[in-house]
Amino acid sequence: MAKVAVVGPERARAVDAVAGLAGSGKLRAYVDGAGNSVHLHLASLGAGEALRVGAMPGDCAAYVWQGDVLAGGVALAMGSSAIVEQGGELELTGGAAGAQVLLFSGAEASGAGGAKVGGGGHVHLLPSADVPRMAPEPGASGVSGGLHADSACPTCAVWLHENHFPGSLELTEEQAARGVHSHTEDEIIFVIGGEIRLGSKLYGPGTALAIAADTLYGFTAGPDGLSFVNFRAAMPGMISFAHGAQISETGYWQEKVPRPVYLSPLAA
């Protein structure tokens, strides 16, 4: 996969069929190339339109970006999520105003490469109100966030978190340089609000970034702030900064929020 690929909404391709996704509504592919270990599709569901998620190569994490859905008969508002394990199935139905649902997945079985073997066939639902969240950090950063999936489930491997950055944050060049970092896994970032600044360019909601493992990159928030969700197909390892420091990503989140507690798993 390319080291950093930026895919705006105008570049997301309309697709008729995606393995493991079937039903009404419209599908667009953001990241789905043969060289990508993590994939992203966007489902646009009108009121009452249904999409069945199942039989995908890896575990799938669904995030309700806009609107609301019924998921297996359970109402999930904007900001909610669901995990569909390998072997599981879930029907998503657009609410009264429709919905935009992000569908993140691993391109291959979660057991590949020595990762945890999935295939439990469960579905985990996490309403927005139940997402473990951290309050804005004190001091200059003011960053807040929420943890949807922590890769610690016995039968699924995915990771999904959200971050929110205030728009009033002004960084010097030196401060911005200190934020340049890499992760030990391929990842996808999707902008759900505000803007992300990469170099001299600003990218707004509906933009996805596919970033290869061990790639150094940095970003800052736009003038109106930045909100995004971040997906990995397996448990994150270390965050390595360009200036030499390292921190455990899972350790960072464990210090700030409890583990997600899902609604009772639904059988396949």
At the topology level, CATH places domain 133-256 in Jelly Rolls (2.60.120)
- pLDDT score, position 172: 66
What separation, in Å, do the N-terminal and C-terminal C-alpha atoms of the chain show?
A: 32
Outline which parts of the chain fall under CATH 2.60.120.10: 11-129, 133-256
CA distance 267 to 120: 9
pLDDT average, residue stretch 163-191:
85
pLDDT average, residue stretch 100-119:
68
pLDDT(19) > 70: yes
CA distance 231 to 138: 25
Please tell me which residue, 196 or 172, carries the higher pLDDT value: 196
- pLDDT score, position 186: 97
- pLDDT score, position 182: 97
> Spelled out in words, what is the top-level CATH class assigned to the domain 11-129?
mainly beta
CA distance 156 to 72: 19
Interval 196-252: pLDDT, tens: 999 889 999 999 999 999 999 999 899 999 999 999 999 999 999 998 999 999 999
Interval 43-76: pLDDT, tens: 999 999 999 998 888 899 999 999 999 998 899 9
Q: How far is CA 133 from CA 9, 93, 169, 193, in A?
A: 28, 26, 21, 17
- pLDDT score, position 119: 61
pLDDT(177) > 50: yes
What are the residues whose beta carbons fall under 8 Å from the beta carbon of 143, sequence distance 6 or more?
Answer: 136, 137, 163, 164, 165, 166
Average per-residue pLDDT for the chain: 90
Residue 115: band (very low, low, confident or very high) from pLDDT cuts 50, 70, 90: very low
pLDDT average, residue stretch 78-97:
95
- pLDDT score, position 142: 84
pLDDT average, residue stretch 114-138:
81
- pLDDT score, position 113: 37
pLDDT average, residue stretch 128-153:
90
3-class SS at 29? strand
Give the pTM.
0.93
